Amino acid sequence: MTEREKMVCPACGVEMNLHAEKVDYADAAAEGEGFDPDLGGLVEEFHTCPRCGRTLARRAA
């Protein structure tokens, strides 16, 4: 996993917790950021705020 800046909760301003990665095969045709040729799709990261519970996603590096 590449080291990246932590996501920050837009509501609480605290660092969010990265707890999951998932391949999105539906967008496999878009070979942009996050596309993993070994896994055959775009990999997304899921981050949840420890204070308010909000979850945000971003493409993996």
Partner 1 sequence: MTETRPLFIPVVLGTVRQGRMSEHVARFVFGELTKRAGVESELVDIRELNVSTSDEGGGAKDERFTETVARADALVLVVPEYNHGYPGLLKHALDTNLKEYIHKAVGVCGVSAGSFGGTRVIENLLPVLRELGLVTIFWDGNFSSVQKAFDAEGKLTDAAYVRRLEKFLKELVWMAKVLRHGRENVTLEGV
Binding site for partner 1 (CB under 8 A): 1, 17-22, 24, 26, 44, 46, 48-50, 52-55, 57
58 with 7: CB under 8 angstroms? yes
Q: How far is the CB of 37 from partner 1 (least distance, A)?
A: 21
15 with 47: CB under 8 angstroms? no
**Among residues 58, 48, 44, 46, which one has the least CA distance to residue 15?**
48
Q: How far is the CB of 18 from partner 1 (least distance, A)?
A: 5
| Residue 14 or 31 having the CB closest to partner 1 | 14
